[in-house]
Amino acid sequence: MKNLTFEATFETPQVVLDGNAGVLEFSGRSHPEDSLIFYKPILNWVSDYLKSPAPSTRIVIRLEYFNTSTSKMILSLLNKFENTENTVVDWFHFGEDEDMLECGKEFSELINLPFTFHTI
Amino acid sequence: MNLRDMALKNLCDFDELFNLHSSMPDNQVIIAYEGEFNPQITQSVLSLAERNLDSKMEEGQTKRRAYNIAIECLQNISTHSDRDEKNPNCIFVIGQRDGHYFISSGNTIKADKIEKLKRKLDQINTLDPEGLKQLHMQAIKESLKNQTTSNSGLGLISIARKSGKKLGFQFTLIDPENAFFCFQASFPKKSV
């Protein structure tokens, strides 16, 4: 399937969705006022991907900032993978950013997927 | 002469301009904006706030907290203020004093929304960090289940968690239908 990519802007992240490799990567910052506008095509791509996913899927979240409406989009996205085998989440946070680490830990309580935490 | 005309007259007077300038001592005001808000202005205000926080060379976590709270406050202004021709303007200020950052916002809301908003803020202010975490998780779960676009106070809960202090607020009636909602979140700078 076709890859979907977005370049980073002041308020939206760099997104690389690689269907063949099974890697979905979000980096930078995500605080658009209406996050649904930005995440709608991403969620649609994920729905297509899940019809015939790669043997394993890695979701990489490497965000410095995100707002509450983005957090709902990320959770909805992760939610879609709960029944997909061999899916892992790699959650990155800046060394001293305890808030982002805490947030990742809470997401891992809400979502039934294995999370691995990494420091940038 | 009403308050607004007085303020305008004062700003046209050099002595008053100097007084206004002197009332904002160096380094205490990170950014202050009063006026119309739209997505472009929100972006500019955020970008300027970030630049000014960077120039204070704050430790990463402190800067990130200030910036995150600023994002949510500005989006609360955009989403929840009820502006009309008579009351088009909102205010947003980031300041620092006594080792704390203060992030304040003010916007017009319909008077009939006061009670619900006050109840939400009072509820948040009664909770300790663990209670706030529970409320946050619960609100997130509900929003996931219902796929609602409304935030059901998620932004305010998130601000309270990042701040670690009670949220400050006040409602001032402008006329029988409208009130000005002042809001403030503060947090101590991390001592390195």
**pLDDT 10s digits, B92-114:** 999 998 889 999 999 999 999 99
pLDDT band at B39 (very low <50, low <70, confident <90, very high): confident
Backbone torsion region of residue B82, taken as left when φ is above 0, otherwise alpha when ψ lies between -120 and 50, otherwise beta: beta
Domain ranges of chain A: 4-119
Angle at B30 between CA B25 and CA B33, to 5 degrees: 100
CA distance B18 to B34: 18
Q: B3-110+167-188 domain in CATH 1.10.10?
A: no
Q: A4-119 domain in CATH 3.30.750.24?
A: yes
Residue B21 above 50 pLDDT? yes
Contact residues, chain A, for B149 at CB < 8 Å:
36, 69
Pick from A7, A67, A40: which is nearest to B43 by CA?
Answer: A67
For A43-47, B122-126, B134-138, which range has the lowest pLDDT when averaged over its residues?
Answer: B134-138
Pick from B118, B100, B109, B114: which is nearest to B185 by CA?
Answer: B100
pLDDT digits (tens, 9 = 90+) for A1-30: 899 999 999 999 999 999 999 999 999 999
State how far residue B7 is from chain A, nearest Cα, in angstroms.
Answer: 32
Q: Which residue has the tokens 């619900």?
A: B116
- State the alpha helices, DSSP H only, in chain B: 3-11, 14-22, 39-55, 60-80, 114-126, 129-146, 154-163
Which run of H or E residues covers position B92?
Answer: strand B90-97
CB A81 within 8 A of CB A113: yes
CA distance to A91, B100, B106, per residue, from B50 (Å) = 24, 17, 20
pLDDT digits (tens, 9 = 90+) for A69-115: 899 999 999 999 998 999 999 999 998 888 899 999 999 999 999 99
Answer yes or no: do B78 and A33 touch at CB < 8 A. Answer: yes
Q: Of A33, A36, A76, which is closest to B144 when you measure between CB atoms?
A: A76
pLDDT band at B1 (very low <50, low <70, confident <90, very high): low
Predicted pLDDT at B192: 45
- State the alpha helices, DSSP H only, in A1-120: 35-49, 68-80, 98-110
Pick from B103, B157, B80: which is nearest to A106 by CA?
Answer: B157
Specify the long-range contacts of residues B38-41, CB closer than 8 Å, at least 24 apart: B38/B78, B39/A33, B39/B78
Answer yes or no: do B137 and A98 touch at CB < 8 A. Answer: no
